Amino acid sequence: MTEDSTRATQRGTAMDRAVFFISDHTGITVEALGRSLLSQFPDFRFERTTLPFVDTEAKLHAACQRIQARHRDTGLAPLVFSSLANAAARAHLLASGAVVFDVFESHIERLETALGLKSAQAVGRAHGLHDPVQGRERIGALKFALDTDDGLGADAYGTADIILVGVSRSGKTPACLYLSLQYGIAAANYPLAEEELERVELPRTLRAWRDKLFGLTLAPERLHLLREERRPGSRYAALPQCRREIQAAAALFQAAGIPCLDTTRMSVEEIATNVLHHSGLKRPAW
């Protein structure tokens, strides 16, 4: 056998492993949980399969057959991360011969003991984001973020929970959209233009909303790369220009007392959660 790093090897080495994520719902939580755990084993190559909406006996049976087929083909018991609220379904999965890590199995009994009450064990209940009011709030927040993106809709700033401020390409838009979709937070964003930066004073539009302002910044080198993608070779993207704007923004944030986050090495969810954390904004109840 030649050396082969593809994940599709029929019979891999001991460092290849088939992994399934099984949920009676979207599987987003169990994927995130499994991802966290598997990232602790960087030397392995995991062949991942997500099976969401496994909410009937027939679908569970089909899932077990797929797992067993990979077991036969690879000669190794697949790892299965599952979040099945139904105890009988969990038992069925365990009988497949896979190594099962179940979100519920591992915690629900201790939780029942701690609370002194049996759990509801209901499929579908196990997902707190279903509440239609909260759903509507998130869609409303998303609409707000889209309507107030990039300096638009400043007349709606009165209803903003937060207004992100930063130079062009500092990650404001993704952060606002994530804040709205994940947390239902009404987040606007305002780009600092060069003229505004030169004056080192808060743009007029923002002055009434000082308490809602939150600055995003990043390393000039990173900003340079991001801008090069948009307008290669431009003055806008040149490193000295990026340096000047970042320095001017930092001076402005300091002068106006605006809290500020360096997003250089952050993913969009890290930016959003850090903004939430450092702004003192309350996470909405769920």
- Residues numbered 152 to 211 that lie near a copy of itself (CB under 8 A) are 173-174, 177-178, 181-182
- State which of positions 92-121 bind a copy of itself (CB under 8 A): 99, 101, 103-104, 106-108, 110-111, 114-117, 119-121
Q: Tell me how far, at minimum, the Cβ of 51 lies from a copy of itself, in Å.
A: 9
Q: What angle do CA 225, 226, 227 make, to 5 degrees?
A: 90
Candidates 24-32, 62-70, 202-210, 241-249; binding stretch for a copy of itself (CB under 8 A): 24-32
Residue 231 to residue 129: CA distance in whole angstroms: 40
Q: Tell me how far, at minimum, the Cβ of 208 lies from a copy of itself, in Å.
A: 25
Q: Tell me how far, at minimum, the Cβ of 199 lies from a copy of itself, in Å.
A: 30
Among 8, 10, 43, 195, binds a copy of itself (CB under 8 A): 43
Among 90, 138, 212, 224, binds a copy of itself (CB under 8 A): 138
Among 11, 13, 32, 65, binds a copy of itself (CB under 8 A): 32
Q: Tell me how far, at minimum, the Cβ of 181 lies from a copy of itself, in Å.
A: 6
Among 18, 22, 60, 142, binds a copy of itself (CB under 8 A): 142
Q: Tell me how far, at minimum, the Cβ of 196 lies from a copy of itself, in Å.
A: 24
Buried/exposed code over 231-242 (b: 16+ C-beta within 10 A; e: otherwise): eeeeeebeeebb
Decide whether 58 or 115 has the Cβ nearer to a copy of itself: 115
The residues, ordered by sequence, that sit 6+ positions from 13 with a Cβ below 8 Å of its Cβ are none
Decide whether 58 or 285 has the Cβ nearer to a copy of itself: 285
Closest CA to 54 of 126, 111, 106, 120: 126
Q: Tell me how far, at minimum, the Cβ of 59 lies from a copy of itself, in Å.
A: 11
Applying CB under 8 A, what is the total number of residues that bind a copy of itself? Answer: 84
**Per-position x/- string for 216-255, each x denoting binding to a copy of itself as judged by CB under 8 A, each - no binding:** ----------------------------------------
Contact between 139 and a copy of itself by CB under 8 A: the answer reads: yes
